[in-house]
Amino acid sequence: MKGIKSIIYEMNGQTLVIDLCEKSQMKYKNISRIIREEKDFEYLKNLFCIIDTWNEEYIDTKTIDGCYWKLSILYSNGNKKEYRGKASYPNNFEAFERLNQKLIDEVQNG
């Protein structure tokens, strides 16, 4: 998991940014907090287990007003991996949402 610079998740106009530089930091809404090293390691380990089987796109062309989402993984060497969808999601997307909410809650509550 070394070499990851940032994780950026966008959905419904909200953005969760996890910067993994010297001191990991989470930015969400009006929150900007340092993440303890064991928390960012746990998050990344679980994240990659969840997205391991994801396709790059989940687009439902039959739905006009569907929710748009995007997950970007930025690497320190300049590479980027993106997953995106519109009104369609991977089977385990709820696990991804729970993982993000857990991190947000833990960082907010110390």
Over residues 52-97, the pLDDT tens digits come to 999 999 999 888 888 999 999 999 999 999 999 999 999 999 999 9
The residue behind tokens 């385990």 is: 92
Q: Is 93 helix (H, G, I), strand (E, B) or coil?
A: helix
Residues 6+ apart with CB under 8 A from 9: 15, 16, 69, 70, 71, 72, 100
Tell me what pLDDT residue 109 has.
Answer: 81
Residues 6+ apart with CB under 8 A from 79: none
pLDDT over 80 at 110, yes or no? no
